[in-house]
Structure 1
Amino acid sequence: MGNGLLRNLFYSANHQQNHNFKIDDFMFAKEIRNSTIGIIGTGRIGYQAAKAWHGMGAKVLGYDIYESDQAKSILTYCDLKTLLKESDLVSLHCPYIKEENYHLVDKNFLAKMKPGSVLINVARGELMDLQAVYDAVKSGHLKGVGLDVLENESKVFFKDFAGKPTPDNITNKLLSLYPRIIVTPHIGSYTDEVVKNMIEITYENLKVILSGQKCKNKI
């Protein structure tokens, strides 16, 4: 999703779907190896995302209240203001904590982002003020946004509206800016490897609990 938005692939594919094969200024893109990627939340998932961008040659910045020694081998930690100012793409991988980061991404956050940059949220919908996100793309301040999560996703995700508007107004507004805003129905973990791991770990947890031992993954 992030790479597709940076290279304007969704935009180009949408044009071609309409049999338009002209090249315009919006299709011009910076190569990944010349880009700076900002990772907010450098835990296990954030680390893997940073590792992938680093592997493509990008400079990777990281922000987390708990810095990881492992992550330091592939990214440079900095304060949030610097990350937003310098990053061509900002990707959220942090947990949602109601009292601490509800609507972390608000009007002020977005104003600090680099003009023409891309924003990705594959973490939690509650981290974003979606109206502010819509406004930032509509105004042209952000080039694109990729969302695998929404704050009110239960109203929309896993349902087929057969081409009609959804019951959620802000979701409809976001969809109106396709292909600059891409929305996927919380499928970031819907892969062969992740599903396999979830099933195996669940059975291992049950085995441990049934044997009377202490489960390390107890919530």
Structure 2
Amino acid sequence: MRLLLVEDDNHVAAALSAVLARHGFAVTHARSGEEALQALVPESDGYDVILLDLGLPDQDGYEVCGKIRKRTATPVIMVTARSDVRSRIHGLNLGADDYVVKPYDTGELLARIHAVSRRTHHEDGTADGDDALRLGAVHIELPTRQVSVDGKVVQLTRKEFDLLALLAQRPGVVFRREQIISEVWRTSWEGTGRTLEVHVASLRAKLRRPALIETVRGVGYRLVAPAG
């Protein structure tokens, strides 16, 4: 498994690279945001995961994450000392797949790396040509992870698509907030609840169908299938 490690501290990078190598990872080390972006040219099809430290010398880590997400769908795990909820939410909304706070347990970091990698490979491996969901004017292609409304493609983030696909596979069924957070974010972290609300609001706006996703107060959300 190939991993891009974006970390400006050479001592931290060397220690972590040694651990990752012992667990079968081929690590490429980038010391700045610019080096990280150069490593993704033309695109990082060869990388399975990107570990991104936010405290970079040349660019803000959040800015780098946004640029990475425009270039590739490779999973990004932010690794940082910023532990406040707003920082986590901001990182996730920029397209990060996970967020690990320093100091972290190496075993947990490895588990998170494997988790995001498994999810991505599962998504990419969905090959059934008829794996499509239609909800009135909303068309969801599961194999290509593409969503269109009235025939026009709508750009969704990874998590927005995961959330929509989860609800759309069982229209009318109420999904508890805890269940959604567990299945989409693969965590039971309490602060993710606020991120869920942000993603629901974003989906309603992008799909231009505010009534498509219904809030069931005190419980969670359900997708309301269009009449007819």
Q: Check whether TM > 0.5.
A: no
TM bin (shorter chain) = 0.3 to 0.5
TM-score when scaled to structure 2?
0.35
Structure of higher RCO (CA pairs closer than 8 Å, 6+ residues apart): 1
